[in-house]
Amino acid sequence: MAKKKKKTFRPKARLPKGMRDVESAEISAMSSMLETIRECYHLYGFEALETPVFEYSDALGKSLPDQDRPNAGVFSFEDEDSQWLSLRYDLTAPLARYVAQHYDALPKPFRRYQTGYVWRNEKAGPGRYRQFRQFDADSVGVPGVAADAELCMLASHTIEKLGIGRGQYVMRVNNRKILDGVLEMIGIDPKGEEDLEMRMTILRSIDKLDRLGIVGVEALLGEGRKDDSGAYTKGAGLPIEKIAKIIAFVGAGADERTAVLENFRTLVSSSVTGMEGVVELEEMDSLFVASGFGTDRIVFDPSIVRGLDYYTGPVFEAELTFEVKDEKGQPIRFGSVGGGGRYDGLIAKFKGIEVPATGFSIGVSRLYTALNALGKFSGGSGYGPVIVMVMDKDRLGDYQKMVGRLREAGIRSELYLGGSGIRAQMKYADKRKAVCVVIQGSDEQSRGEVMLKDLIEGMQKSEEIVDNKSWREGRPAQFAVAEAELVEAVRSVLARYGDS
């Protein structure tokens, strides 16, 4: 009896959940965007830093649970020394480790920027990825809020440099000390571990104001809320009078920054902590005014609290306010594309002493999507390389020499190496989005010429062809030039389409 043939295992070609492939056009546009951000951060005196993509898990802080395998929220693995490591979930925790490790050698303040991917071991969904890029700027060793004000101005400057104008975005600023003052007034410890869960529920509730409105936030501060799907979210369980105090804080906004400050003074006049926050916002406001950053760029917004417990002072978010239409014609808004704030206690877990610090982080992918929706990347041609076609395989050296001349002239070009015939080569050039191809058969070689075919004009002409006469009139898309004039002729074709 014949043996049964063993089945060959073939893995299924599939992406891991929450991951995505990024193709050439987006990579090119993204690189341009990142360079603009880098230039702005560099202009403000920040220096580049790169840290590893993973750290020892115990260095990543409170977000990790006390378990044998620390993998909730992060991706973790154990090394050969039985030490747990985790892929970084942001760029701030690695910065805290770096500063603590090199503290004595670093200049104070220490100003760094960094971009890179971060990973979250969370449920993936539409537009919600487990791997995404951030671009941070942080100042460490700066006790005053002048550093926080500078980061707000840096964020505003960067967004405008990327092509998002005033009226299309706003920097929203608040101070966690003011909310701490409100919490003190209603009997909740703003710092202690005992009230941590209550505090986080309140923070998360306020953070949802833009989506749920006042009524929704009130429900989450109270017994809880059922959403449209029927899912129930347990609330903070606060009594009505305490909810009213928090809602008064959330509703203290106004068009002018000075009016918001006055509302805050009235609200937390009996709290030393709260009034410290008001004074810090007053100082930031004076710096904004002195630097020409009015309310068309930076506003004070009580609803900005940020969801992380480690913030200790000013907090801020960059919000895009314009609307675009999706493919179904429905209006969409991008909302927050970056945020940050002061985190004076984060480095203390390594050093045992408080090290003042503040930072701002751009969510690169969301900002890229917004810029793309505004057409900010449409200026690039998106065309592929010039293709030098292979008409005679015995003459590869001649064709390689043509490609070399084009590249020496700074023209992106490629020698076809696929081994197929002329028809397949033309299809390949179309798929590569080439503006033109270079052709030299034996006839052209004998005359010392090359043939250029403008594929874009050729495509346009082909759509107009209805008979032999129109076909003959469309032939100017293909023309011969002396081989010595190859570079100039290719440049002239590329220039027609802004790709020179």
Contact 204, 330 (CB under 8 A): no
Average pLDDT over residues 284-290: 98
Residue 392 pLDDT exceeds 80: yes
CA 113, chain centre distance (Å): 14
Express each pLDDT in 14-32 by its tens digit: 999 999 999 888 898 999 9
Q: In sequence order, what E strands does 51-176 have? A: 54-56, 76-78, 84-87, 110-119, 131-140, 169-175
Per-position b or e across 276-304, b if 16+ CB within 10 A of its CB: bbbebbeebbebbeebebeeebbbbbbbb
| Segment holding 226, helix H or strand E | strand 224-226
Average pLDDT over residues 148-164: 97
Provide the residue type at 495 as one letter.
Answer: A
**Collapsed DSSP state (helix, strand, coil) of residue 4:** coil
pLDDT category, 180, cuts 50, 70, 90? very high
Q: Comparing 24-53+88-197+249-373 with 386-495, is the CATH topology the same?
A: no
Residue 431 pLDDT exceeds 80: yes
pLDDT category, 68, cuts 50, 70, 90? very low
**How confident is the model at residue 8, as a pLDDT?**
86
Average pLDDT over residues 361-365: 95
Separation of alpha carbons 48 and 33, rounded Å: 16
Phi and psi dihedrals of 308, rounded to 5? -95, 145
Separation of alpha carbons 425 and 389, rounded Å: 7
**How confident is the model at residue 230, as a pLDDT?**
76
Separation of alpha carbons 56 and 86, rounded Å: 6
Q: Which residues pair with 357 in a beta bridge?
A: 140
Pick the CATH number of 386-495 from 3.40.605.10, 3.30.70.20, 3.40.50.360, 3.40.50.800: 3.40.50.800
What is the signed CA dihedral for 334, 337, 343, 348, rounded to 10 degrees? Answer: 120
**How confident is the model at residue 407, as a pLDDT?**
97
Contact 173, 304 (CB under 8 A): yes
pLDDT category, 476, cuts 50, 70, 90? low
Two structure tokens written together for 241: 């009078």
For the chain, the average pLDDT equals 89
Two structure tokens written together for 266: 């009235």
pLDDT category, 378, cuts 50, 70, 90? low
pLDDT category, 66, cuts 50, 70, 90? very low
CA 477, chain centre distance (Å): 41
Q: Which residues pair with 112 in a beta bridge?
A: 47, 138
Q: Which residues pair with 437 in a beta bridge?
A: 387, 453
| Edge-to-edge order in the sheet of strand 298-300 | 47-48, 110-119, 131-140, 357-363, 331-342, 314-325, 169-175, 298-300
Residue 471 pLDDT exceeds 80: no
Sign of torsion over alpha carbons 273, 275, 278, 283: negative
Provide the residue type at 369 as one letter.
Answer: T
**How confident is the model at residue 466, as a pLDDT?**
45
Average pLDDT over residues 332-343: 92
Strands 110-119 and 47-48 come out as: parallel
> Could you tell me which of 115, 154, 119 has the C-alpha nearest to residue 368?
115
pTM score, whole prediction: 0.84
Separation of alpha carbons 347 and 100, rounded Å: 7
Instruction: For the chain, give the percent of residues with pLDDT over 70.
Output: 92
**How confident is the model at residue 473, as a pLDDT?**
52
Pick the CATH number of 24-53+88-197+249-373 from 3.20.20.70, 3.40.50.1370, 3.40.190.10, 3.30.930.10: 3.30.930.10
DSSP-derived secondary structure for 115-141:
EEEEE-BS--BTTB-SEEEEEEEEEES
Q: Residue 292 region, left (φ>0) first, then alpha (ψ -120 to 50), else beta?
A: left
Contact 86, 54 (CB under 8 A): yes
| Segment holding 152, helix H or strand E | helix 146-161
pLDDT category, 236, cuts 50, 70, 90? confident
Residue 274 pLDDT exceeds 80: yes
Extents of the domains making up the chain: 24-53+88-197+249-373, 386-495
**How confident is the model at residue 64, as a pLDDT?**
45
